[in-house]
């Protein structure tokens, strides 16, 4: 493995060149092949990863912890209540100490207006690689798994592939912007034509949109936006129906200063769009060989119907979820 990656932070795919990401995908496929053949791949023998979760997790927590075990190391599963974070210890001090005791730090902090900056602060003071397990802006590990899954089903020449990323109704919780924002930044770098559909009250962040347009210009892909879910589905090769909160409609200071009022407004806006669902009618608007992707957990019956999510000819969400393991292992193996 190229030693230039050792110690490199993974906070966003934006910090890695396309050539570097290509090496990550090569490593991911190599590790997946070894995993399926049950061949030992102890790249991180006796090494330690500290995982700090401020939110719940299924795929992220288990892909990292299982990945470390399979690479020959160990992952500490930490939450704020188990640490002095609950008493106000700073990101700086936490990073300094943990990076002296182990070989890598990974953290999920999705608090709006806080998460990305918290992880950046850790990275600034850590002597070991810091990895984002999702923040309020980015979800880089999900982006890698998504693109690996695209490669598996459509090949690595993705020029001209049509991917629709659509807001969808969900009432479980206000989901971060980080998954769709990572996708619109990453996919066009690989020549993919991305369409984003969302109600006007649920935009993505303006600065991310502008960066995605620049990425598309350089990578040969394209990106367009619509407020019509049906229009977005027409002719799509891949559809990704995913709820995200209305955070993009607010500046960070405004949201933090008026959080309760903003949440009330988001809830009111949300109730207008029950019809934004991926169902049998909409899936028929897409390409005849369309595939469904979703970062999971899916809000069944709201974001997508069971008949689509459980249709093995359409849904590749479990391939996508499995690839969280292999891409996580690739990043850890290369950076730790």
Q: What is the pLDDT of residue 264?
A: 87
Structure tokens of 137? 């802006």
142-321 shares the fold of 3-139+323-335: yes
Write out pLDDT tens, residues 61-95: 999 999 999 999 999 999 877 777 666 789 999 99
Q: Which CATH number fits domain 3-139+323-335: 3.40.50.410, 3.30.43.10, 3.30.460.20, 3.40.50.1370?
A: 3.40.50.1370
Angle at which helix 178-186 crosses helix 206-219, to 10 degrees, equals 20
**Cβ neighbours for 92, distance < 8 A, ≥ 6 positions apart:** 121, 122, 124, 125
**pTM exceeds 0.85 for this model:** yes
- What is the pLDDT, as a whole number, of residue 86? 61
Rounded Cα gap, residues 265 and 109, in angstroms: 24
Please tell me what DSSP assigns to residue 204. P
According to CATH, the topology of domain 142-321 is Rossmann fold (3.40.50)
pLDDT digits (tens, 9 = 90+) for 117-141: 999 999 999 999 999 999 999 999 9
Q: In sequence order, what are the beta bridge partners of 49?
A: 75, 104
Q: Cα(first)–Cα(last) distance of the chain, in Å?
A: 11
- Positions of the chain with pLDDT lower than 70, given as ranges: 1, 85-87, 173
Alpha-carbon distance of 126 to 150, in angstroms, equals: 33
Per-residue pLDDT at 249 = 84
Cα 171 from chain centre: 20
Domain locations in the chain?
3-139+323-335, 142-321
């Amino acid at each position: 493995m190229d030693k230039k990656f050792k110690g490199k932070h993974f906070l966003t795919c934006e910090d890695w060149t396309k050539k570097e990401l290509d090496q990550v995908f090569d490593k991911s496929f190599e590790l997946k092949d070894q995993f399926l053949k049950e061949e030992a791949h102890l790249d991180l023998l006796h090494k330690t990863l500290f995982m700090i979760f401020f939110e719940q997790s299924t795929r992220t927590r288990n892909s990292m912890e299982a990945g470390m075990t399979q690479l020959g190391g160990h992952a500490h599963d930490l939450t704020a209540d188990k640490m002095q974070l609950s008493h106000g210890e700073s990101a700086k001090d936490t990073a300094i100490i943990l990076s002296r005791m182990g070989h890598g730090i990974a953290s999920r902090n999705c608090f709006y207006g806080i998460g990305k900056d918290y992880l950046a602060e850790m990275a600034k003071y850590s002597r070991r690689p810091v990895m984002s397990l999702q923040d309020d802006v980015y979800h880089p590990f999900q982006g890698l798994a998504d693109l690996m899954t695209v490669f598996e089903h459509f090949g690595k020449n993705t020029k001209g592939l049509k991917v629709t990323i659509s807001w969808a109704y969900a009432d479980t919780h206000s989901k971060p912007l980080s998954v769709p924002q990572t996708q619109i930044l990453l996919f066009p770098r690989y020549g993919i034509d991305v369409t984003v559909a969302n109600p006007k009250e649920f935009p993505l962040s303006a600065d991310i949109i502008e960066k995605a347009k620049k990425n598309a210009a350089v990578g040969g892909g394209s990106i367009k936006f619509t407020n019509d879910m049906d229009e977005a589905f027409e002719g799509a090769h891949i559809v990704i129906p995913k709820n995200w909160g209305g955070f993009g409609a607010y500046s960070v200071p405004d949201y933090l200063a008026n959080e309760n009022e903003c949440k009330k407004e988001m809830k009111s806006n949300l109730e207008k769009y029950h019809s934004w669902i991926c169902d049998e009618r909409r899936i028929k608007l897409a390409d005849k060989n369309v595939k469904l992707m979703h970062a999971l957990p899916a809000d069944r019956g709201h974001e997508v119907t069971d008949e689509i999510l459980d249709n093995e000819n359409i849904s590749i969400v479990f391939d996508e979820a499995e690839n969280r393991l292999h891409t996580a292992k690739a990043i850890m193996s290369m950076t730790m």
